[in-house]
Amino acid sequence: MDVLDALKGKYLGGIAGAGDEAALEEIRLAALGKKGEISLKMRELGQMAPEARQAAGAALNALKDEIDTALRARKAGLADAALDERLKAEWLDVTMPGRPRRQGTIHPVSQVTEEVTAIFADMGFSVAEGPQIESDWYNFDALNIPPEHPARQEHDTFFMAREAGDNRPPHVLRTHTSPVQIRSMQTHGAPLRVIAPGRVYRMDMDQTHAPMFHQIEGLAIDRDISMANLKWVLEEFCRAFFEVDHVELRFRASHFPFTEPSAEVDIRYSNVGGALKIGEGDKWMEILGSGMVHPKVLAAAGVNPDEWQGFAFGLGIDRIAMLKYGIPDLRAFFESDLRWLRHYGFASLDMPTVAGGLSR
């Protein structure tokens, strides 16, 4: 037992004097490792008489447990001491002034979408949404776009990849939000007044075009709707959106497969010294396309064209945002430049309303 007492004093003293975890590990291996002194003593038990083996085994196990407990306690103490030292080094004076709080801003596309939605909501239009991946039927066929139309070619539209032998109808990244109009008529029938904002995709990229951009389309279906109603709605929208008392629109005959008659709409403006003013001047700028919904489109959506008629229009959200807020390059909308976002962004809590002001 004198040997065990010596081992106990040796290792407990070493544990108490260990200055770090590496030193503790060395002591553990020397005492309790496979070749440690206590482990070697345990192997000698087989050579002892039964009575002596029982007494020595109990003593060795007690010593082993005592050393293991001391190791764990010392390791925990060293960890606490290291934490105290780290906390002293990382001390923070909470009485010091804090950093200025950085406030995020609303992207111009999101802001203009909310502005347009507020204006049309005031005129009784609800918001409709639909999938961005559309079937060929919803994106083209239901909108009276013939198979030979250029928009149905791969140089103009993003078609989804299909495996060889897949006979399902092709799907595309929608080229406009007009499919939402079809889905809305199928779901709600007529009468109907909806706008459909969202992302759309086309094969185009330059200073004023992007392969992904934002569009908003409007649809109104009733029994006696005419082009006069369309003209009034667009004039009221332009007055409210550009926040001017007077606007002048020019309707030019055009062709869209999904409307008949169809019209491109220009707005009068002036540009003197880089300052663009809406509603005055001698220049015209195209801002949207419109027309009366084609009877084939109504029939495809399950609305009887002999009883109902309506108008539709579509405009680019990015384009009118550039026009209203003087943003020169469309590509900057999607570059995630914080300086640009801080310059053109809007306060996050200023929600646009027709009564309270759109672009506060």
HEC sequence for 69-90: HHHHHHHHHHHHHHHHHHHHHC
My answer on whether 153 and 300 are in the same domain is yes
For the full predicted model, state whether its pTM sits above 0.85. no
Q: Are residues 67 and 122 in the same domain?
A: no
| Cross-strand pairs, 219 | 194, 312
For 215, residues 6+ apart whose C-beta sits below 8 A from its C-beta are 176, 177, 197, 198, 199, 200, 314, 315, 316, 317
Instruction: Assess if residue 95 is contained within a domain.
Output: no
Stretch 235-259: mean pLDDT: 91
Lowest mean pLDDT among 51-55, 74-78, 253-257, 301-305: 51-55
Which has more pLDDT, 345 or 360? 345
Q: Say whether pLDDT at 214 is over 80.
A: yes
Co-location of 161 and 209 in the same domain: yes
Residue 296 lies in a domain: yes
pLDDT more than 90, % of the chain: 33
Peptide bond into 169 cis (omega under 30): no
pLDDT bracket for residue 223 (50, 70, 90): very high
- Tell me whether residue 99 is in a domain: no
Mean pLDDT of the chain: 85
For residues 75 and 141, state if they share a domain: no
Q: 290 vs 343, which has greater pLDDT?
A: 290
How confident is residue 41, by pLDDT bands cut at 50, 70 and 90? Answer: confident
Q: Does some domain include residue 133?
A: yes
- Phi, psi (5° rounding) for residue 131? -70, 150
Is the distance from CB of 127 to CB of 172 less than 8 angstroms? no
**Most trustworthy range by pLDDT among 37-46, 47-56, 75-84:** 75-84
Return the number of other C-beta atoms located less than 10 Å from residue 348's C-beta. 11
Residue-range definition of the domain harbouring residue 67: 2-89
pLDDT at residue 139 greater than cutoff 60: yes
Residue 209 belongs to some domain of the structure:
yes
Q: Is the pLDDT of residue 358 over 70?
A: no
Of residues 339 and 41, more confidently modeled: 339
Q: Which residues contact 196 (CB under 8 A, 6 or more apart)?
A: 127, 128, 129, 130, 177, 178, 180, 181, 184, 216, 217, 218, 219
**Averaged pLDDT, 112-121:** 92
Please check the confidence at residue 355 and state whether its pLDDT lies above 70. Answer: no
Indicate whether 81 belongs to any domain. Answer: yes
Chain Cα centroid distance, residue 157: 23
Q: Of 30, 55, 89, which residue constitutes the final position of a domain?
A: 89
